[in-house]
Structure 1
Amino acid sequence: MSAKIFIDGESGTTGLGIRARLEADPDVELVSLPAGQRKDLDAKKAVMEQADIVVLCLPDEAARETAAIAAAMGSKGPRILDASTAHRVAPGWTYGFPELVPGQAEAIANARYVANPGCYATGAIALLRPLIDKGLLPANVPLTIYAVSGYSGGGKAMIADYEKGTAPAFEAYALGLEHKHVPEIERYARLTRRPLFAPSVGNFAQGMLVFVPLFLEDLPGKPKGADLADTLAAHYAASPFVKLVPAESSGKIEPESLNGTNDLELRVFANAARGHAILVAKLDNLGKGASGAALQNLKLMLQNQAPN
């Protein structure tokens, strides 16, 4: 029997991406609401009662509202995968980055409530957590994280502006230093000091680069670039989606080559003479940064799902 999945917010960018990935899956039956009933809470509850898993692709407040409906249903309620920011650091929710630490994939498979990671956070945490766990970076290290994303992550208004040609070619934003991905970066990278995070958007639809510059000689133990690379390679050696790749000898990198995949590539660009390194994560902001990650988490959750 197929597992029933309800995508709440299926008309948005992430929801459409998840639906497209699930439509060909014979083990899944998609259930949905007519467009005119999507804000009708009674109608939503009725659909949720049919579903095994509900995927939330909603603004944060609406995601909290739907999660509360599920919680009020008690043991008969569906499992939840939330693609919003609402529950990423909330008590009782499992963080949906299977490669985070050994056992995380199993925790996701068994969880009732799973929070899909943010796109920028996925790249930053993938770079930082293994190095902090290994002791190559102290948890209180002062960090600045830079990133650039394709415009598809900015919502319908931004997408329309770029497609009309009225948006700037490049734009830095969130310079008030309160970006919504910082709390999850801080928690799941195991940082004890809040990093500075400076994101930006460029005139390309999909793709993402996340950069973490390091002064190696200022770090305890004065690690070399090879030490960082070896640690990252070992941590992700068994992952089908995350891997360390050699840094380009040209010293250049573009953001779009992983588009349409759930892959995440990590690189260590290092200059031994200067004692400098830049860690780089490349991913599709709509793939491993959103819908692809959601599908990966759904497949884990379905391993331990008895359909209604």
Structure 2
Amino acid sequence: MVVSGRTWFTPGIPGIYVVLLCDVLRDLGHDPAALLKTLGLKREQLLDPEYRLPLEQADAAAEAALALVGDAGLGFRYARAMRITLHGPVGLLALSSPTMDDGLEAARRYLGLRAPFLSVERVPLAERRQALSFRTDFSPGPIQNFVIEAMVIGFVYMLEQLLEASPEGAEVHFQGAPPPHAEALRRAVPVPVHYGQARDALIVSEALLAARPRLADPQAEALAREQCELEFRRWRANQEGPLPERVRAVLRDHPAPLPDLADMAERLATSPRTLKRHLQQAGLTYRQLQDEARYRQACKLLGERGKRISEVAFAVGYNDVANFSRAFKRWSGQTPRDYRGG
């Protein structure tokens, strides 16, 4: 699987994450030498704090590791092996934050510096709870499942490390059916895990968000935030290509619902006002680029004969088939039925 549209303006994956993957494979009884050979890399290279693995190579690493492990549950085992200190200044910022809420927000804000293929949205829920909803740029399949499982469970273990105790008031939701390793996962994870849910998310209570991390330290937090901002600015300075094309790259094959203007601006490390201005200078609007992406997605899905038009409409973000049909005719000059027939 290839992560679409990310090659020119993301920092890649820190090499230490692949080192950890090799260690997890070894603990599961597999020799990671073949994995490193596939990547054409040595462990010493990956241990370099400045090394970043291109996302295509990270894809290859995940595919090779999953092929070795099968149904053993690589995602949650990888998350369990992860330590917050491996995230560098981002981890230090979370550790030293005054509240768990601040720590989670720091992790969410700077996530792109460590996992540029992932986004996390905070969604208010009833009963004084919030959902940290996870999305990836990967197409549905084994790699997406691995990444989602590793990241959601990784946040659980991050909470546990921040508190130095079990994160009471948290639970995990996954959209899919329970995998073969579901029971092993439930035994290992210190919070309830539910499948068949509305979103892939970590659910947290307001009481948990208000808790104080055991290593909260204002001075350490200020220094870590300064380091994160410096890295963030360097990432932004190293971005190449005009903003409209970078927007198109993020939207390409992004699952519905597509990010709104504010979310897109945050992903590209700019402000909504600046993004809007650049698009206007190019004679574009963000709505136009969203429609481009929806049209591409719709055409692809309409080519799958087993899908009903109502399913295609829902998949690209329309709850009403008539509205989807009107939009598709505006984009292509044909109705979805005519397009499929042609």
- TM, length-normalised to structure 2: 0.23
Name whichever structure is richer in strand by fraction. 1
TM-score for both structures, normalised by structure 1: 0.24
**Higher RCO (Cα < 8 Å, 6 or more apart):** 1
